[in-house]
């Protein structure tokens, strides 16, 4: 089946949907049984999509988990109340006191903070590594290294990692690899084909696609699924049926949305490259981008999220740029149908293993589904505002 067809069909079997097109919202805490035998059966098979108790999910959850597995390729998929919970749930499922974690230096900032504040207090030590390290990761591995965590492309800085090089080293040493695959969504990169053990999605972003739901997923291969499932369950992670329903609904248009986001990005990247104030456009599809070769090899396409860096500027420059925009709203998150902008004037503060190579402020854009001509007009006005500052 081609991806577009898979997106339509995934997780929509009669078993869950019954006679309706969409799997309905089934809210439940208590699941009731008529006989001891039924209850025993549910208890024994509670990890296998047999209704048992609301925290383990209902058909709404089971169908969505199956859809993510069908698209992303995992053996099982646990659901979480947000992407950050999927990250903590996956890390806590596999790390113990005394373990060592290798964390990519360009990780989403709250992932770093989780390592520095929560995991450190549990006696788990983190070493940050250069996103471009590739097979050189071997030199950082210690006898107690238990997990290598990847995020590709990295948050804000957008480097694309050599995932297969890292997973090959990890496999040979029985180290678990966890990838934040949110940028790719479940369709632009197939993490399990690249040797990853656990793949995380902040479904809040492109899967939901409408900026109105918080949801996370963590999928694992057959070897690691039982532990991920049980530990996440014991830590109490679960998601609301209503949110899962909305995510499943968003999923059906993921392919067409991503294709349009990517189409809209292209003229905007070209336009930005021509602006004299722009030092660099950080987009994996550009030939000089760090990890471009891995991007061409491992991804089937792009989306609407990338960054660019100004040659010079400070907080005033950023303020002049972002205040007064009509289409690009300032706000956290991304992956909805609308355009967003966010700025960072101190990228070095988010890194410890590598030196950030640029002096000027970074702006991250999410290019929505508006007409790119209108978005370029908005950006042109923002550039004019910073020109007037001089
Ligand atoms: C790459 C990435 N991973 C994880 C998350 C966390 O997702 P959530 O906001 O659903 O907790 C985000 C949120 O911005 C993100 O950008």
* pLDDT 10s digits, 78-88: 999 999 999 99
Residue holding tokens 């190579």? 357
233 lies in the same domain as 351: no
- pLDDT of residue 333 exceeding 80: yes
- pLDDT of residue 390 exceeding 80: no
324 lies in the same domain as 383: yes
Atom 8 in ligand 1: residue holding the nearest Cα: 83
State the distance from the centre of ligand 1 to the C-alpha of 385, rounded, in angstroms.
31
State the distance from the centre of ligand 1 to the C-alpha of 114, rounded, in angstroms.
13
142 lies in the same domain as 275: no
State the distance from the centre of ligand 1 to the C-alpha of 340, rounded, in angstroms.
15
Atom 7 in ligand 1: residue holding the nearest Cα: 83
Residue 17, classified by CB atoms within 10 Å of its CB into exposed (0-12), middle (13-18) or buried (19+), is middle
What's the whole-number mean pLDDT along residues 266-280? 98
What's the whole-number mean pLDDT along residues 137-162? 98
- pLDDT of residue 24 exceeding 90: yes
Mind giving me the DSSP string for 248-314? Answer: HHHHTTHHHHHHHHHHHHHHHHHHHHT-TTEEEEE-TTSTTSTTHHHHHHHBS---SEEEEEESS--
51 lies in the same domain as 198: yes
- pLDDT of residue 13 exceeding 90: no
Residue holding tokens 């492309």? 153
268 lies in the same domain as 233: no
Mean pLDDT of the chain: 97
Determine what percent of the chain is predicted with pLDDT higher than 90.
98
Q: Residue 299 sits in which domain range? A: 254-389
* Contact by Cβ (8 Å): 179, 198: yes
Q: Give pLDDT tens digits for 285-328.
A: 999 999 999 999 999 999 999 999 999 999 999 999 999 999 99
220 lies in the same domain as 73: yes
Measured CA distances, 301 to 91, 158, 263 (Å): 28, 15, 10
Structure confidence at residue 14 (pLDDT): 85
CATH number of the domain that residue 190 is part of:
3.40.640.10
**Paired tokens of 169:** 């080293």
Testing ligand 1's pocket by substitution, the residue of 80, 182, 201, 350 carrying the most ligand atoms inside 8 A of its CB is 182
Atom 13 in ligand 1: residue holding the nearest Cα: 333
Three-class SS state of 115: helix
What's the whole-number mean pLDDT along residues 335-346? 98
334 lies in the same domain as 356: yes
Question: Ligand 1: which atom is nearest the Cα of residue 82?
Answer: 10
Q: Give pLDDT tens digits for 69-127.
A: 999 999 999 999 999 999 999 999 999 999 999 999 999 999 999 999 999 999 999 99
**Paired tokens of 50:** 């047999």
108 lies in the same domain as 156: yes
Residues involved in catalysis: 55, 108, 180, 205
Scanning the chain, the segments in alpha helix (DSSP H) are 3-9, 14-17, 36-44, 59-72, 83-94, 109-113, 163-172, 185-188, 225-234, 241-251, 254-273, 292-298, 315-322, 372-389
Q: Give pLDDT tens digits for 224-255.
A: 999 999 999 999 999 999 999 999 999 999 99
Q: Identify which of 340, 335, 362, 365 has the alpha carbon closest to the alpha carbon of residue 351.
A: 362
CATH number of the domain that residue 265 is part of:
3.90.1150.10
What's the whole-number mean pLDDT along residues 347-358? 98
Q: Identify which of 275, 377, 272, 262 has the alpha carbon closest to the alpha carbon of residue 327.
A: 377
Phi and psi at 370, nearest 5°, equal -65, 170
Testing ligand 1's pocket by substitution, the residue of 79, 81, 82, 84 carrying the most ligand atoms inside 8 A of its CB is 84
Which range, of 11-15, 33-37, 325-329, averages the lowest pLDDT?
A: 11-15
Last residue of a domain, one of 221, 251, 281: 251
Question: Ligand 1: which atom is nearest the Cα of residue 85?
Answer: 11
What's the whole-number mean pLDDT along residues 359-382? 98
Residue holding tokens 């996370």? 216
Q: Give pLDDT tens digits for 152-203.
A: 999 999 999 999 999 999 999 999 999 999 999 999 999 999 999 999 999 9
161 lies in the same domain as 297: no
Report the number of secondary-structure helices (H) and strands (E) in the chain: 14, 12
- pLDDT of residue 376 exceeding 90: yes
Beta partners for residue 201, in sequence order:
217
State the distance from the centre of ligand 1 to the C-alpha of 41, rounded, in angstroms.
37
Structure confidence at residue 187 (pLDDT): 97
Testing ligand 1's pocket by substitution, the residue of 109, 204, 340 carrying the most ligand atoms inside 8 A of its CB is 204
Q: Quote the pTM value.
A: 0.97
> How far apart are alpha carbons 126 and 147 in whole angstroms?
10
290 lies in the same domain as 318: yes
What's the whole-number mean pLDDT along residues 358-371? 98
161 lies in the same domain as 236: yes
State the distance from the centre of ligand 1 to the C-alpha of 35, rounded, in angstroms.
43
What is the tally of structural domains in the chain?
2
Last residue of a domain, one of 226, 251, 276: 251
**Paired tokens of 239:** 């998601």
Q: What residues does ligand 1 touch, defined as CB less than 6 Å away?
A: 82-84, 108, 155, 180, 182, 202, 204, 214, 216, 333
State the distance from the centre of ligand 1 to the C-alpha of 84, rounded, in angstroms.
6
- Reported as a pLDDT band with limits 50, 70 and 90, residue 135 is very high
Beta partners for residue 216, in sequence order:
80, 202
Question: Ligand 1: which atom is nearest the Cα of residue 216?
Answer: 10
Last residue of a domain, one of 251, 280, 312: 251
120 lies in the same domain as 266: no
């Amino acid at each position: 089946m081609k991806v577009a067809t898979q997106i339509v069909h995934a997780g929509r079997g009669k078993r869950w949907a019954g006679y309706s097109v969409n799997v309905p919202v089934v809210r439940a805490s208590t699941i009731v049984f008529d006989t001891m035998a039924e209850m025993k059966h549910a208890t024994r098979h509670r990890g296998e999509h047999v209704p048992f108790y609301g925290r383990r999910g209902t058909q709404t959850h089971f169908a969505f988990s199956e859809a993510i597995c069908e698209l992303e390729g995992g053996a099982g998929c646990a659901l979480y109340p947000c992407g950050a919970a999927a990250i903590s749930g996956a890390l806590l499922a596999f790390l113990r006191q005394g373990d060592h974690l290798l964390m990519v230096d360009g990780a989403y900032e709250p992932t770093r903070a989780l390592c520095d504040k929560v995991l450190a207090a549990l006696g788990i030590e983190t070493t940050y590594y250069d996103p471009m390290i590739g097979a050189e990761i071997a030199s950082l591995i210690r006898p107690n290294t238990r997990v290598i965590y990847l995020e590709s492309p990295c948050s804000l800085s957008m480097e694309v990692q050599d995932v297969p090089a890292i997973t090959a080293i990890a496999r040979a040493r029985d180290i678990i690899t966890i990838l934040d695959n949110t940028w790719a969504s479940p369709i632009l990169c197939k993490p399990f084909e690249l040797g990853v053990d656990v793949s995380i999605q902040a479904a809040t972003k492109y899967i939901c696609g409408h900026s109105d739901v918080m949801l996370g997923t963590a999928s694992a291969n057959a070897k690691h699924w039982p532990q991920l499932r049980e530990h996440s369950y014991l830590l109490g992670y679960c998601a609301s049926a209503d949110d899962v329903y909305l995510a499943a609904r968003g999923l059906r248009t993921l392919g067409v949305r991503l294709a349009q986001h990517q189409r809209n990005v292209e003229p905007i990247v070209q336009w930005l490259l021509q602006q004299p104030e722009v030092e660099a456009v950080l987009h994996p599809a550009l030939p000089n981008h760090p990890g471009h070769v891995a991007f061409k090899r491992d991804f089937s396409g792009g989306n609407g999220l990338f960054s660019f860096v100004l040659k010079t500027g400070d907080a005033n420059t950023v303020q002049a740029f972002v205040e007064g925009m009509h289409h690009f709203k300032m706000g956290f998150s991304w992956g909805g149908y609308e355009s967003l902008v966010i700025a960072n004037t101190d990228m070095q503060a988010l890194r410890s293993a590598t030196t950030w190579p640029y002096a000027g402020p970074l702006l991250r854009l999410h290019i929505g589904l508006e007409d790119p001509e209108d978005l370029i007009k908005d950006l042109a006005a923002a550039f004019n505002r910073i020109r007037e500052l001089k």
